[in-house]
């Protein structure tokens, strides 16, 4: 079997047959769906790493702020787990590479494999129906909670809510939203979604060497421009101008995936070596801002290649437990910090006198379990139904049947 197996969730039964185990049934219910019906499990494994880094970062920040014993900077500097958590915010950039790969793939297939042209109407409608309901609900609930907590001062949040709902908060205020802080990266994603049809014209370059040289040259040009311009332009640092290189790394990976690997990467042991050396090196390198700026995108490209090509690495990143959690990353990302804050106030005193790495591990186990439970329910109840491409039509038909009893009776009669 090739290292990158394509799994079709449409082949899965919606009922639980007698010969399906409880684990398989649960896996079907918790696994995400795609509009194409195909899943690349390694990508969900990489989503797991990305969301894990973000959770480590936010949990560490919460514990440092709320714990009475573990707030010393020197203590954190000497703790290995704390050091990993400090660079966890870079997990967002792992998501950007994944977005570049996933969204670039169908456009690249059209130019490189003569696949059907992507319908821009369906493309933008899919983005709208897939992502907006979970986001709008999360932002609205967090806003209502803020109203309850802040009461009189909450009136100032209304403009921030409106700006957040239209993905304009970064551009207007130059700061993350006080209503839903994690939305700063979602606004950058939306800017990328808008530009995808234009950016993917790079795949129209027929000669592989010239196409890839163009991508690499563009990435290096962006990195050079950022080092000169972005420090003095705060609003731009919260825009796609500061992160476009990561999306283009995803394009480069999509090019290799289609052209060289033919959508079926072959395993090789030396790619496992790249993964074993590369992932620890990544966390070490991220501690240097200069090295991270220039080398982080390229190292991510190698690590993503290793995820597909490594014999053991591909198996690890395709593990069902990992891919299920990775597939829930959007729901987890939207509300994980609120879960940390709500649960942490009850757990933060547990194991507080232990070494920081042990204390952090205990808190991660306790709060992490709560994140999986609460965010998993959010995923199953709201996000996963929105993954079905025709859910608006199905919802409309259901409402029509509820409103018009005669239609319901007519459909029942037709079925009989």
Quick one: pLDDT at residue 412?
A: 59
Quick one: pLDDT at residue 206?
A: 92
CA 39/CA 31 separation, integer angstroms: 10
Q: Tally Cβ neighbours within 10 Å of residue 158.
A: 12
Of 328, 291, 311, which is closest to residue 90 (Cα–Cα)? 291
- What's the Cα-to-Cα distance from 386 to each of 8, 125, 397, rounded to whole Å? 17, 12, 15
Which residues share a beta bridge with 39? 7
Burial of 315 per CB tally in 10 Å (0-12, 13-18, 19+): middle
Encode the chain (416 residues) as per-residue pLDDT tens digits. Answer: 344 444 444 444 444 555 567 777 777 788 887 766 678 999 999 999 999 999 999 999 999 888 776 555 545 555 778 888 999 999 999 999 999 999 999 999 999 999 999 999 999 999 999 999 999 999 999 999 888 887 767 778 999 999 999 999 999 998 999 999 999 999 999 999 999 999 999 999 999 999 999 999 999 999 999 988 876 566 788 999 999 999 999 999 999 999 999 999 999 999 999 999 999 999 999 988 888 999 999 999 999 999 999 999 999 999 999 999 999 999 999 999 999 999 999 999 999 888 888 999 999 999 999 999 999 999 999 999 998 877 777 777 777 777 766 655 555 555 55
Quick one: pLDDT at residue 233?
A: 62
Any domain includes 403: yes
Quick one: pLDDT at residue 235?
A: 74
Quick one: pLDDT at residue 81?
A: 82
CA 323/CA 33 separation, integer angstroms: 12
Any domain includes 15: no
Contacts for 56 with CB less than 8 Å, ≥ 6 apart: 84, 85, 88, 364
Domain count, the chain: 1
Any domain includes 2: no
Burial of 63 per CB tally in 10 Å (0-12, 13-18, 19+): buried
CA 262/CA 146 separation, integer angstroms: 50
- 3-state SS, residue 116: coil
Any domain includes 226: yes
Quick one: pLDDT at residue 12?
A: 43
Which residues share a beta bridge with 7? 39
Quick one: pLDDT at residue 392?
A: 78
- What's the Cα-to-Cα distance from 385 to each of 29, 48, 129, 380, rounded to whole Å? 11, 21, 10, 7
DSSP 130-191: HHHHHHHHHHHHHHHHHHHHHGGGGGGGHHHHHHHHTT-HHHHHSS--SS-TTHHHHHHHHH
CA 111/CA 192 separation, integer angstroms: 19
Cα–Cα–Cα angle for 137, 139, 144, rounded to 5 degrees: 95
Quick one: pLDDT at residue 11?
A: 41
Burial of 392 per CB tally in 10 Å (0-12, 13-18, 19+): middle
Any domain includes 23: no
DSSP 305-329: HHHHH-HHHHHHHT-HHHHHHHHTH
pTM, 2 dp? 0.90
State both tokens at 122. 């369906």
Q: Tally Cβ neighbours within 10 Å of residue 407.
A: 13
| 240, 295, 95, 5: CA torsion to nearest 10 | 130
Domain that holds residue 401: 38-415
Any domain includes 106: yes
Any domain includes 14: no
Any domain includes 227: yes
Q: Tally Cβ neighbours within 10 Å of residue 215.
A: 18
Are 296 and 285 contacting, i.e. CB atoms less than 8 angstroms apart?
A: yes
Are 201 and 217 contacting, i.e. CB atoms less than 8 angstroms apart?
A: no
Are 130 and 190 contacting, i.e. CB atoms less than 8 angstroms apart?
A: no
Phi-psi region of 49 (alpha: psi -120 to 50; beta: other; left: phi over 0): alpha
């Amino acid at each position: 079997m090739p290292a990158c197996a394509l799994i079709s969730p449409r082949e899965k039964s919606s009922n639980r047959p007698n010969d399906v185990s409880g684990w398989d049934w649960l896996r079907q219910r918790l696994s995400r769906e795609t509009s194409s019906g195909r899943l690349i499990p390694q990508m969900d494994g990489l989503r797991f790493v990305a969301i894990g880094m973000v959770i480590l970062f936010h949990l560490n920040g919460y514990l440092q702020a709320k714990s009475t014993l573990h707030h010393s900077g020197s203590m954190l500097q000497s703790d290995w787990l704390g050091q990993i958590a400090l660079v966890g915010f870079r997990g967002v950039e792992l998501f950007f590479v994944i977005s570049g790969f996933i969204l670039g793939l169908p456009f690249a297939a059209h130019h490189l494999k003569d696949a059907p042209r992507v319908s821009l109407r369906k493309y933008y409608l899919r983005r709208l129906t897939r992502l907006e309901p979970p986001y709008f609900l999360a932002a609205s609930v967090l806003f209502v909670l803020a109203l309850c907590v802040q009461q009189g001062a909450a009136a100032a949040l209304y403009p921030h809510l409106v700006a957040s709902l239209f993905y304009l908060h970064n551009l207007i205020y130059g700061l993350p939203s006080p209503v839903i802080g994690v939305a700063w990266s979602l606004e950058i994603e939306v800017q990328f979604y808008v530009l995808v049809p234009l950016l993917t014209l790079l795949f129209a370059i027929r000669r592989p060497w010239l196409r890839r040289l163009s991508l690499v040259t563009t990435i290096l040009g962006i990195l050079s421009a950022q080092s000169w311009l972005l420090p003095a332009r705060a609003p731009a640092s919260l825009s796609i101008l500061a992160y476009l290189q990561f999306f283009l790394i995803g394009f480069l990976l999509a090019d290799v995936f289609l052209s060289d690997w033919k959508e079926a990467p072959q395993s090789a042991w030396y790619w496992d070596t790249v993964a074993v050396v590369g992932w620890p090196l990544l966390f070490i390198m991220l501690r240097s801002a200069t090295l991270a700026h220039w080398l982080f995108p390229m190292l991510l490209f190698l690590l993503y290649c290793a995820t597909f090509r490594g014999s053991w690495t591909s198996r690890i990143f395709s593990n069902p437990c990992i891919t299920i959690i990775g597939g829930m990353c959007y729901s987890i990302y939207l509300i994980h910090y609120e879960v940390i804050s709500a649960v942490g106030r009850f757990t933060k005193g547990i194991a507080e006198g232990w070494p920081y790495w042990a204390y952090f591990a205990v808190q991660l186990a306790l709060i992490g379990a709560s994140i999986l439970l609460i965010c998993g329910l959010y995923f199953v109840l709201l996000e996963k139904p929105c993954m079905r491409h025709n859910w608006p039509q199905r919802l409309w038909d259901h409402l029509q049947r509820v409103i018009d009893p005669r239609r319901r009776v007519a459909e029942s009669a037709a079925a009989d």
